[in-house]
Each structure stands twice: as structure tokens, then as C-alpha cells.
Copies of this chain bind each other. A is one copy, B any other.
Amino acid sequence: MSKRNPEYDFKWCPGCGDFGVVRGIELALAERTMRTGEPIEKTALIAGIGCSGNLVHLQEGPQPYGFHGIHGRALGIAYGIKASRPDMNVITVGGDGDMLSIGAEHIGPQAKRNVDLTAVVMDNGIYGLTKGQASPTTLGGVVTSTTPYGKLEDAVRPLDLYLAHNVSFIACGVSSKPKELAGLIGQAMDHPGFAVVHVMSPCTTYNDTYEALKGNPAKGIEPLAHQVPDSHDASDWNAALALVKQPGVPVGIIYRNPNSVPLHQRFAEARERIKPRSRSVEQMLNALAI
């Protein structure tokens, strides 16, 4: 990973939003270890494949455990870790292609199980690592190397989708504000259940959306990104839906289920209920004795 591994031969392009995301994660983990005294080795960071996923090699300072696997499967791997090691703090990072195209199938199941992990989705509206093809969040009509005549498909609306899956904690951040992002990630890690932090992280090389997000008064461009109003009641699912249906990108905590019961707790409770019925191997074998 960069400092301790200067040889590592991947670099993000200048200005890539992912620099802000890795900073946000570093800050959130530093705050967490400080606050809880839990060693950083109690955190596992599971990365998808993409420019985004390379984040796991590019963290500065103290290193959590990492996993850089295959395209689209970070959530499945994370589920495997958290269910068998509830003592671990599990985070995933992946791009919009990794998490919302080939990996989209894994969001619903983690939401229904309410696996206690934090998924950071790094959305640049493009396939960066493969050099600029349309992704699910690329807007309709946009020209990319695979949509030379404009994208024919409608764009996925990720926040609406998380809500529909009943993800129990949903936040949205921008890579240009690492401190604020760190706060959102910190709360997501503290939330007992499946948490998604969706981050707008522009690709300066293939889909530079900084201006669109921040706006540009000079050119009369309204900023897409706007803070979630203090008045917003994040525990109200319908209010959350209304919020994401508005134009633009709401930055802040969008939804938080106050009654979230995570999978490992559900399993532990079931284990208690069935203690009387559970059997040792001897008992299993003896049940078949003839």
C-alpha cells in the first residue's frame, strides 16, 4: 500500500475523486480506533474491482485487513466474514459498475438479512478502470466508448433502490468533502445493520462531474449536490423517499432504521431458542444406530 509499498504500480489520475474517499475512510477509521480503542486490525476492508477497489492498496497510515477479490463480489465476501466473525468491523468499497451492475444482485440479500456491515459505493457514473464505458449510473443519452450514439438505457437511481431494498442505513456523500464523508462512514459503522454510504466520486478522465456537482455560478450552473435539510427525519422512510425523489443529490443521512436488528443478533437469538434441541456429533450418530 502506497507508503509502505512505493513499488505498487497503480495510481489514480490527478484529481480523481477516489483520493477523497480513501481520505474519508482513513479519517473514519482513525476516529473509530481513537474512540473505541479497538485495534484497526479488527476492521476488514473488502474491495471490488475497479479504480475504486484499488483503494484497499492506497490507504496511508495504520492498515486494516484487506481483501481485493473479483469483480462484483465484495458484498458476498463481506457477508461471509461478518456472519462468521461478528467481532469484526467490515467495510466494502466498490464502484458503480462493481456494485450496481455485476454486483447489484448482492445488495438485496444483505439488506434482507440486515448484515451489520458498511458498503461504500464510489459512484463516478462510468467504468473507469476499463477506460470509459457506460455504467448503470451513466445518464441516458450520454456518449461513452460503448454508447457512441448516446446511452439508450435509463440511468439507475441508486438511492431509490437502496430504499426499496429496505437498507437499514442510507447516507450520501461527496468525495470533495472527506471530513463530512468520514462522519457519515463513522455513523454507518456504528449503525447495527446493513449500511450503504453512496459517494459521488468524479472521474476526471472519463466523466468529470465536479462542476455539475458543485455548480458554477459564473456559467449559471446550479449545484446538483445539496445538504440534507436539518428538518429531515431520517427515521421516516417515506420522508426519505420524498427526499431522494427531489432533483439533485442530497448529501447527508437519508434513512436510518431506528429498530434495526442485525443478522448476527437474529442468529444468536435463534441459537438460544434452540439450545435444547441442538445435538453433539455423538448424538447425531447414535440417532442412526441400529
Interface residues on A, range: 20 to 34
Query: What is the CA–CA distance of A113 and B154 in the complex, to the nearest angstrom?
Result: 7
A266 surroundings in chain B (CB, below 8 A) = 152
Give the number of copies in the complex. Answer: 2
* Contact between chains at A150 and B105 (CB < 8 Å): no
**Chain A, interface SS category:** helix
The residues in A between 260 and 290 inclusive whose CB is less than 8 angstroms from any CB of B are: 263, 266-267, 270, 273-274
Q: A105-B104, A105-B105 are in contact. Are A112 and B161 (CB under 8 A)?
A: no
Which A205-252 residues have C-beta < 8 A from chain B? Answer: 241
- Could you say which of B104, B114, B164 contacts A164, with CB atoms under 8 Å apart? B164
Given A164-B160, A164-B161, residue A152 in contact with residue B270 (CB < 8 A): yes
A94 within 8 A of B: no
CA distance A155 to B114 in the complex (A): 12
Interface membership of A43, Cβ < 8 A: no
Most chain-B CB neighbours within 10 Å: which of A113, A152, A267? A152
Q: Which residues of B contact A150 (CB under 8 A)?
A: 270
| Residues in B whose Cβ lies below 8 Å from that of A105 | 104-105
Once the chains are docked, how many angstroms separate the CA of A113 from the CA of B152? 7
Whether A156 contacts B270 in the complex (CB less than 8 A), given A163-B164, A164-B163, comes out as no
Interface CB pairs A-B, < 8 A, 6: A104-B105, A113-B152, A113-B153, A150-B270, A152-B266, A161-B165
